[in-house]
Amino acid sequence: MTDLSEHSLATLAAELSAGGLRPSHSGPLLRSYYRMDAGSGSNDRRFPAELERLLRESIERRLASLAARHVASDGTAKFLIRMSDGRTVESVLMPGHRTDRAAGCLSSQVGCAMGCDFCATAKAGFERNLTSGEIVDQFLTLRREARAGGRRLQTVVFMGMGEPMLNLGNVRLAIERMASNDMGGLGCGRITVSTVGIVPGIEELAASGLNVNLAVSLHAPDDRTRARLLPTGRRFGVVEILGAADRYQAATGRPVSIQYCLLKGVNDSVEQADDLARLLKGRRMHVNLLRYNPIGPGLSGEVYEAVSGAAADCFLSRLRDNGVVAHLRQSRGPDIDAACGQLRQRA
């Protein structure tokens, strides 16, 4: 039988039924699986022997197992996670402001086809989509690691390897399980999906009714600079992407966040800050400015550099002076290759 992390209530009920077992075992079995994985003791329910075995095997035999763990001086932990076919992805656990909380970063694909020029994952190319169960197993791994460190996994973001909108079917299934009270227990409001601006994916996510948070990686206020950094910039323009983000916000009531990675001499000028502020005028979106973790030459061969602290502060002030809600996110775990794709590159 298929591993329990691959199942929703409906698919498990169908599989049980096809195997001559009672489909009504589906809910209690999944509840037991997630509760036992969360360390809530032993199973207090009795199932037929075949299902007891499935429960035990699903807990012992992971779809995703920990291949490497690197912990930075700031407490950020980066994991290399190996899937059952030997392929690896990266996940990150970041300590929260509260000492008992943590935030997790999940991958949605093995590698990535998007080819963003400043990203280490892009250099390795795309291998395959993760299944919904593999995504759920990453989440469960992060939850166990957080618990082992005395923290609760409070939020997750799809900002690891891959473009979630290009594997949206499996990402949606995984979100449903991570969010469900009977399974992961996280709730949709604690889950963020990040995209480089795949407009049809934004529309589909809005229509799904999942009501998760959306983050858009803009990285430039104009199509020309954007096309240099992100190949999607040639397919979807800034105005079109922000229009889709507006509709997402209207459909879900959730403010969209704009991710903007500052690159020295590329997208960090005062004029670009003003252009970004003009674009966001009248929109209830907030900007997260990111410090770049250098990766050496990008796909095009260009070597990007991080901006200085003073330049980042200047860009931030300019946005704020123009009425934009913006924050500068500290770069996490630079001493452990925390930029997406770096750890896997070196493994």
By CB under 6 A, tell whether 196 contacts ligand SF4. Answer: yes
Applying CB under 6 A, which part among 12-20, 37-45, 161-169, 269-277 lies near ligand SF4? 161-169
Amino acid symbol at 200: P
By CB under 6 A, tell whether 121 contacts ligand SF4. Answer: yes
Identify whether the C-beta of residue 175 lies closer than 8 Å to the C-beta of residue 136: no
The sign of the dihedral angle between the CA atoms of 191, 206, 169, 259 is negative
Q: Which is nearer to ligand SF4, 162 or 221 (CB)?
A: 162
By CB under 6 A, tell whether 153 contacts ligand SF4. Answer: no
Binding-site size, ligand SF4 (CB under 6 A): 12
Q: With CA atoms as reference, report the closest residue to 6 among 45, 61, 46, 48.
A: 61
Binder of ligand SF4 out of 122, 214, 295, 324 (CB under 6 A): 122
By CB under 6 A, tell whether 266 contacts ligand SF4. Answer: no
Q: Which is nearer to ligand SF4, 116 or 307 (CB)?
A: 116
DSSP state of 196: S
Please enumerate in sequence order all residues whose Cβ is within 8 A of that of 163, keeping only pairs 6 or more positions apart, or say none: 108, 109, 112, 113, 114, 195, 196, 198
Q: With CA atoms as reference, report the closest residue to 205 among 150, 242, 236, 247.
A: 247
Going by their DSSP bridges, the two strands 325-329 and 286-291 should be labelled as: parallel
By CB under 6 A, tell whether 136 contacts ligand SF4. Answer: no
Applying CB under 6 A, which part among 50-58, 112-120, 197-205, 240-248 lies near ligand SF4? 112-120
Applying CB under 6 A, which part among 116-124, 180-188, 264-272, 275-283 lies near ligand SF4? 116-124
Q: Determine if residue 82 is left, alpha or beta; phi over 0 gives left, psi from -120 to 50 gives alpha, anything else beta.
A: beta
Catalytically active residues are: 90, 340
By CB under 6 A, tell whether 267 contacts ligand SF4. Answer: no
- Give the footprint of ligand SF4 on residues 324-343 (CB under 6 A): 340
Q: Which is nearer to ligand SF4, 95 or 162 (CB)?
A: 162
* Alpha-carbon gap, residue 206 to 309, rounded angstroms: 36
Applying CB under 6 A, which part among 20-28, 56-64, 117-125, 313-321 lies near ligand SF4? 117-125
Identify whether the C-beta of residue 23 lies closer than 8 Å to the C-beta of residue 14: yes
Binder of ligand SF4 out of 92, 93, 161, 165 (CB under 6 A): 161
Q: How far is CA 122 from CA 107, 159, 306, in A?
A: 13, 13, 18
Q: Which is nearer to ligand SF4, 116 or 171 (CB)?
A: 116
Identify whether the C-beta of residue 79 lies closer than 8 Å to the C-beta of residue 92: yes
Please enumerate in sequence order all residues whose Cβ is within 8 A of that of 316, keeping only pairs 6 or more positions apart, or say none: 289, 326, 327, 328
By CB under 6 A, tell whether 119 contacts ligand SF4. Answer: yes
Q: Which is nearer to ligand SF4, 43 or 194 (CB)?
A: 194
Q: How far is the CB of 159 from ligand SF4 (least distance, A)?
A: 8
Q: With CA atoms as reference, report the closest residue to 155 among 68, 89, 97, 73.
A: 97
Going by their DSSP bridges, the two strands 77-83 and 64-71 should be labelled as: antiparallel
By CB under 6 A, tell whether 90 contacts ligand SF4. Answer: no
By CB under 6 A, tell whether 199 contacts ligand SF4. Answer: no
Q: Which is nearer to ligand SF4, 3 or 163 (CB)?
A: 163
Interface ranges with ligand SF4 (CB under 6 A) = 112, 114-116, 119, 121-122, 161-163, 196, 340
